[in-house]
Amino acid sequence: MNLHYGAFHALHNVNLGIDENEITAFIGPSGCGKSTLLKSLNRMNDLVQTCRITGKITLDGEDIYGNIDVNMLRKRMGMVFQKPNPFPMSIYDNVAYGPRTHGIKKKSELDRIVEESLKNAAIWDEVKDRLKKSALAVSGGQQQRLCIARALAVKPEVLLLDEPTSALDPISTVKIEDLLLELRERYTIVIVTHNMGQAARISDKTAFFLHGEIVESGLTMDIFSNPSDRKTEDYITGRFG
């Protein structure tokens, strides 16, 4: 697929398969198009007026830019953003916002989903006594796990994470990495990261982006130990980027 922002050709002939129940990492220097591709996957780019996409992106064989319900697509593709963005409401309401959006009203059902999502995001024990408190009162790392819980609450199939740990301290980062490794069992995960170590630690497959093109993609192990392209090698060994 190709993607333009106005006259700017942001993604060139990108062709990539993402496999189920694996973590795929997008790496590359700033402005190389990795976040752009991520946002195309759940059509968040629709919000950018000048954005134009040609080609095809399919989810389970279905063209997501075809005749589909965008809101349902976004429900299937949970997204976690670079900066933790809990809504200015209680922890409970944050997690319940998604399920309520999709029509769940019963208190007992919501209670169950909130508890389950918070447990899955490994933050239940830290917040279970203050579910009614503002989500803005917890730490940045907790906020990010809360955002993961919020994304999990709508029962997505895919989790898209846009540099989820770049605004966090090392300890919170480790917690989120551990969490992603656990979640891999049940979800397909795509993560954009600037952190080479992070990609190497947690991903199964890696795609290296440069100037809007995928230079190389494949098993993370291969890319990091034996890159076939010179540019990939230069980037992962820190010669630029």
The residues of the shown chain that bind other proteins, judged by CB under 8 A, are 42, 44, 47, 49, 71-75, 78-79, 81, 83, 85-90, 93, 97-98, 101-102, 132, 134, 147, 150-151, 154
Structure tokens that stand for 105 in this block: 């009203």
DSSP 205: E
**Which CB sits closer to other proteins, 14 or 151?**
151
**Which CB sits closer to other proteins, 74 or 205?**
74
Q: C-beta of 235: minimal distance to other proteins in Å?
A: 28
**Which CB sits closer to other proteins, 23 or 38?**
38
Residue 190: which of 28, 41, 32 has the closest Cα? 41
Q: C-beta of 133: minimal distance to other proteins in Å?
A: 8
**Which CB sits closer to other proteins, 47 or 171?**
47
**Which CB sits closer to other proteins, 163 or 216?**
163
Cα–Cα distance list, 21 to 43, 142, 203 (Å): 21, 25, 11
Q: Is 167 exposed, middle or buried (0-12, 13-18, 19+ CB in 10 A)?
A: middle
Helix ranges restricted to H, the chain: 34-41, 70-76, 91-101, 107-120, 124-127, 140-152, 170-183, 196-202, 220-225, 230-236
- Residue 52 forms beta bridges with which residues? 4
Q: C-beta of 152: minimal distance to other proteins in Å?
A: 11
Q: C-beta of 198: minimal distance to other proteins in Å?
A: 21
End-to-end CA separation in angstroms for the chain: 25
